[in-house]
């Protein structure tokens, strides 16, 4: 099984706003300015970043870098952020270190150290030395900003929890909320304060929902069972193709402490109810787009999460194929064996 990436990563590590339009430090003297093509390219790349198109931005930043003929802050910082956004953390780390060397004013330095912290956290795969270095980077960003970089405060608190330094981490997350943290990151902060273990173990987030049959369901009620979460939509062809297999899986495991829970991303409740009835989807069904996008941060469909009786995510997969069907069967069987063994002890 591939290594699980924490669902919370996308909101746990909050990047600073892009520095679009800022000049470069160490500017050459008059008459030795960078070529106009460099400025055109770097501005195009920064616009792509604002439009949430990091892969395209990387290509244009690289072109700008070649045209400059020397390291520039705007390219280093832009590439660091773009690489981090697409998950190329090794390259992000290289560019962030260069940005730290080039950054001059407060905003530039805060942004550079924040990107450095993100790359160190993600590229280190839980390595304690790199987590400690990430702590240093986020702490430096917070110090340089005079305590104003609230995103860095959140990130620092999160990494401290990851290291098991719960008192420090919780205190910082409480400061983050007191300083005006809001939205999904604020919800994440409250969840981490309530249970710091979430930073170290891939637990499903706390949630409450109502099924299509009118039952109120909470994550707490699922404890003690093996749970397969199915994020899907009637508009998604692979999701529809998976329905017969999920039906067999749900019915085959009916005598076990196991439940399939399908969570739909559909926009039309009436169409969803009709589809569920026509296809005999008689296991729990939830229609809640907020639960899909905000709570679980699911962006691809179908996505499957297998959860053990303690609430830990033990398997994650996206897409549908005969291979995935076989893997789901094997993972569910293995999880049920472990659950039976744990109860017998």
Average pLDDT, the chain: 90
| 151-200 per-position pLDDT tens digit | 999 999 999 999 999 999 999 999 999 999 998 899 899 999 999 999 99
Among 198, 196, 193, 183, residue whose Cα is nearest residue 290: 183
Q: Where residue 34 falls among pLDDT bands split at 50, 70, 90?
A: very high
| 65-105 per-position pLDDT tens digit | 999 999 999 999 999 999 999 999 999 999 999 999 999 99
Instruction: Give the pLDDT mean for 317-328.
Output: 97
Instruction: Give the pLDDT mean for 297-315.
Output: 95
Instruction: Give the pLDDT mean for 212-238.
Output: 96
275 against 7, higher pLDDT: 275
Predicted model pTM: 0.70
Per the listing, tokens 């790199």 go with 130
Instruction: Give the pLDDT mean for 248-276.
Output: 93
Q: Which domains does the chain have, with CATH numbers?
A: 9-199 (1.25.40.10), 208-344 (3.40.30.10)
CA-CA distance, 297 to 219, in Å (whole number)? 16
What integer pLDDT is reported at residue 31 of this predicted model? 47
Q: Supply 91's token pair.
A: 């390259």
Beta strands 216-218 and 285-287: pairing type?
A: unpaired
Q: Are the C-beta atoms of 285 and 215 separated by less than 8 Å?
A: no
What integer pLDDT is reported at residue 125 of this predicted model? 80
| 130-145 per-position pLDDT tens digit | 999 999 999 999 999 9
Percent of the chain predicted with pLDDT > 70: 91
Percent of the chain predicted with pLDDT > 90: 80
């Amino acid at each position: 099984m591939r290594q699980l990436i924490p669902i919370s990563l996308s909101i746990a590590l909050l990047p600073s706003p892009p520095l679009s339009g800022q000049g470069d430090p160490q500017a050459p003297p008059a008459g030795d300015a960078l070529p106009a093509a460099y400025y055109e390219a770097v501005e195009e790349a920064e616009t792509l970043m604002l439009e949430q198109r990091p892969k395209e931005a990387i290509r244009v930043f690289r072109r700008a870098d070649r045209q400059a003929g020397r390291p520039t802050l705007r390219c280093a910082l832009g590439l660091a952020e773009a690489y981090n956004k697409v998950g190329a953390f090794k390259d992000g780390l290289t560019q962030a270190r260069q940005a730290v060397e080039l950054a001059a004013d407060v905003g530039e330095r805060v942004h550079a150290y924040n990107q450095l912290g993100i790359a160190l956290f993600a590229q280190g795969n839980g390595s304690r030395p790199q987590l400690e270095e990430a702590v240093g980077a986020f702490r430096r960003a917070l110090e340089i900003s005079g305590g104003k970089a609230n995103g860095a405060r959140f990130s620092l608190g999160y990494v401290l929890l990851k290291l098991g330094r719960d008192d420090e981490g919780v205190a910082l997350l409480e400061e983050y909320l007191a300083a005006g943290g809001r939205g999904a990151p604020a919800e994440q902060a409250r969840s981490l304060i309530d249970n710091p273990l979430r930073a170290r173990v891939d637990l499903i987030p706390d949630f409450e929902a109502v099924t299509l049959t009118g039952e109120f369901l909470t994550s707490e009620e699922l404890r003690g069972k093996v749970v397969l979460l199915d994020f899907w939509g009637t508009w998604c062809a692979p999701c529809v193709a998976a329905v017969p297999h999920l039906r067999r899986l749900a019915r085959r495991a009916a005598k076990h402490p196991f439940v399939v829970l399908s969570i739909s991303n559909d926009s039309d409740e009436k169409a969803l109810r009709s589809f569920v009835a026509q296809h005999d989807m008689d296991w729990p069904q939830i229609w809640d787009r907020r639960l899909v996008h905000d709570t679980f941060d699911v962006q691809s469909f179908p996505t499957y999460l297998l959860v053990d009786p303690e609430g830990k995510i033990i398997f994650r997969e996206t897409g549908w194929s005969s291979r995935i069907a076989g893997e789901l069967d094997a993972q569910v069987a293995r999880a049920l064996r472990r659950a039976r063994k744990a109860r017998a002890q």
